[in-house]
Chain A
Amino acid sequence: MRPPKLFRPASLAILAALALPAFAAGWSSFENTFPALPCQDGWAGCVVDGSGHGPGALKDAAGRPLPADARFGWFDLKPTHNLSAFVSLSAYSGPIGGEVVAPEPVAAPEPVAAPEPVAAPEPAVADASEPTTTAGSRGGGTPTSTPTNTVQPTAVASNTTSTTTTTPVGTMRPPNTPTTATTSTTGTTSTTASTPVGTMRPPNTPTTTTSTLAPTTNPTQTVAATPPTTSNPTTPPVAAAVKTGPTDDSCDDLVKLEPAAMMGTLRVGQTKCLEGRVNSESQQTTKDKVSRLMITNAEAAGDKGNWERLMKRHLEDIDRSDPDLCFKYALHLSRGGSGRSQGVIRWADYSLENKAKWSGQTYKTRVFSLYKLRAEAAQRLWQDAEKEFAEGERSDEKEAKAAKYRGQAKDYAREWLDYAKASAQDTKTAMALCVSSSGNRAFCEGG
């Protein structure tokens, strides 16, 4: 029996030939073999490990072809150039358009944190009637003995009590008690020096010969001049003896105290007297003068903690109409981290309220700085709020807080930018803050 015509070989061949186009593969079917953009950074060509790389087929170690974007060899399973999906963009390091290659800028050195201020020494007032003498110094030698943990008693003869007392080494001498001589029981030091009390010196350390009449005003220099304690840093150093005369701690004449305040050398008695006047004075203007004197003294003495306390009291309780004081306090707070950003904004605002007291270039630079301080503080607040929302447990409250601080940061950045533009000052950082907080360059560039 003959098969039907449809199933004859000739018919089947014709059918197969007609069906072939339907099953034929298009060029798109070979995209896996010849990818158009094989490079990791989305380009058609790139340099990987120093060799050019493009859409052409890769070859493994044995020379067998592989797809251009294959990560492993099909036959040997060895990694290809494309193994890492996280390669960074290849940079072009050569000169562009014939320009000369500029040298890499040298990185600025990291700012070194300022050393903590050494405990402010009690000011020793040079008394012309009492020439200071320095004797018994062994001068310039390197100490051979090292301090120990044992507390060594020191005989201190005081001219105020005319008695010889024995105090342990390193105990703090009460203020305003001039000592005439210190005799160490070790017998290695016997010095009468003009160094102010509080000058730090390790025990058994020979003192350098000094013949200055004026007191040493910078205690840190004295510390640097003495050899460091090496064996036991916890051993308290010996306080050098100081010879001073009777002191006048009255504070009636404020003008007379100004030079000492500018040097930061007001005595404890004087500052106590001033403190008493601040509390007892009835006139606000007098309180203002006394408080300023104390603030100046604390600043010159490098006593930041006390300075901040005095400044805060002055601005909160006495007077905040001086834009300089508000500005200075806002600047101080801005260096204290994001926790003080609210304070920065507050005192910058108070300072800006009275900016009319400035004029000329002072006005321009101060107002610019205040806008800057405020915008940066707001940026830090926003940054913290966003971090709290993103990294902590998310809530609507936190999101609203972040949005509020973002709005504040945007407003302050825009105000800073506007003033910088108007006064022809640097707008780079202001623009960056504005764009960052608003998320819209057009908003910041708009007139």
Chain B
Amino acid sequence: MRSSMLLAVLVMLVGLLVPGVAAAAKPAKETEGVPVRVIVLDAERGPISTAVIRHPLEADRHRVNSVDGSWEASVLYMPDGSELRFTPGMTLELEISAPGFMTQVFQYQVRKRKNVVELSLPKIEMDDTTIEEPVISFGRDLPREPTEAPPQ
């Protein structure tokens, strides 16, 4: 009798502990962060091979894949040594730039999965048609202006 009661209590304890163990296992997966993929495109929807992505507080710039213009990460390492893990629900701020294109800062709310963001950068218009050209002057000798006679 006593042993059967002991066994029943044991089973109950195991039953109660199982969800706890499962719950404990879940955060271990979350420490990896949710991957976020950013694809940088130009106005014609072509990948920008020279684009770089940076968190405003981060020191390093991350180059995109030069073939498809994509960059993917689940964690960023800050200059103070901390790690910024992407978790569902968090708002992520990133700065995208490329030579010859306007820099853009965008915010994105991380989802549990399928975090694929496409971003197109507008080109910087470098127009020199408005520059007025100077007229080339001929090389003329300037006549010397006559000076007044010094007072006697």
Residues of chain B within 8 A (CB-CB) of A433 are 124
Determine the distance from Cα of A5 to Cα of B2 in the docked complex, in whole angstroms.
10
Residues of chain B within 8 A (CB-CB) of A328 are 133-134, 136
Shortest Cβ distance from A258 into B: residue: B138
Most chain B C-beta atoms within 10 Å of own C-beta, residue among A6, A254, A327, A429: A6
- The A interface is mostly helix, strand or loop, or mixed, namely helix
Tell which of B66, B103, B110, B139 touches A432, judged by Cβ atoms closer than 8 Å: B103
Residues of chain B within 8 A (CB-CB) of A369 are 128, 131-132
Flag whether A439 is at the interface (Cβ < 8 A).
Answer: yes
Evaluate contact between A383 and B136: CB separation under 8 angstroms: no
Which candidate, A48-56, A230-238, A286-294, is the interface stretch facing chain B?
A286-294
A377 to chain B, nearest CB (A): 9
Determine the distance from Cα of A14 to Cα of B138 in the docked complex, in whole angstroms.
111
Evaluate contact between A376 and B126: CB separation under 8 angstroms: yes
Evaluate contact between A366 and B134: CB separation under 8 angstroms: yes
Flag whether A120 is at the interface (Cβ < 8 A).
Answer: no
Query: Which B residues between 117 and 138 are near A, CB-CB below 8 angstroms?
Result: 117-118, 124-126, 128-129, 131-138
Flag whether A285 is at the interface (Cβ < 8 A).
Answer: yes
Evaluate contact between B54 and A439: CB separation under 8 angstroms: yes
Evaluate contact between A15 and B52: CB separation under 8 angstroms: no
Shortest Cβ distance from A437 into B: residue: B99
Shortest Cβ distance from B45 into A: residue: A88
Evaluate contact between A331 and B99: CB separation under 8 angstroms: no
Evaluate contact between B138 and A296: CB separation under 8 angstroms: yes
- The B interface is mostly helix, strand or loop, or mixed, namely loop
Flag whether A23 is at the interface (Cβ < 8 A).
Answer: yes
Determine the distance from Cα of A45 to Cα of B5 in the docked complex, in whole angstroms.
54
Tell which of A31, A372, A387, A437 touches B50, judged by Cβ atoms closer than 8 Å: A387
The answer to whether residues A292 and B102 also contact, given A386-B50, A390-B63, A433-B124 and a CB cut-off of 8 A, is no
Tell which of A15, A22, A255, A379 touches B126, judged by Cβ atoms closer than 8 Å: A379
Flag whether A334 is at the interface (Cβ < 8 A).
Answer: yes
The answer to whether residues A293 and B138 also contact, given A19-B15, A383-B50, A383-B99 and a CB cut-off of 8 A, is yes
The answer to whether residues A31 and B112 also contact, given A299-B136, A331-B128, A373-B128 and a CB cut-off of 8 A, is yes
Shortest Cβ distance from B103 into A: residue: A435
Which candidate, A35-43, A195-203, A213-221, is the interface stretch facing chain B?
A35-43
Determine the distance from Cα of A289 to Cα of B4 in the docked complex, in whole angstroms.
118
Evaluate contact between A11 and B8: CB separation under 8 angstroms: yes
Tell which of A258, A327, A436 touches B100, judged by Cβ atoms closer than 8 Å: A436
Evaluate contact between B66 and A390: CB separation under 8 angstroms: yes
If A289-B139, A328-B136 are given as contacts, then 15 extra A-B residue pairs at C-beta distance below 8 Å, sorted by A number, are A15-B11, A22-B15, A23-B15, A23-B18, A69-B114, A85-B114, A86-B118, A255-B140, A292-B136, A324-B134, A324-B135, A324-B136, A376-B126, A379-B124, A436-B102
* Chain B interfacial positions (CB closer than 8 Å to A): 1, 4-5, 7-8, 11-12, 15-19, 49-50, 52, 54, 61, 63, 66, 95, 97-103, 108-112, 114-118, 124-126, 128-129, 131-141
* Chain A interfacial positions (CB closer than 8 Å to B): 4-6, 11, 14-15, 18-19, 21-23, 31, 35, 37, 40, 42, 69, 85-86, 88, 111, 254-255, 258, 261, 285, 288-289, 292-293, 295-296, 299, 324-325, 327-328, 331, 334-335, 365-366, 369, 372-373, 376, 379-380, 382-383, 386-387, 390-391, 406, 409, 429, 432-433, 435-437, 439, 441
The 17 sampled A-B contact pairs (Cβ below 8 Å) are A6-B8, A14-B8, A31-B112, A285-B139, A293-B138, A295-B136, A324-B134, A328-B134, A376-B128, A379-B99, A387-B49, A391-B49, A429-B125, A436-B99, A436-B102, A439-B61, A439-B103
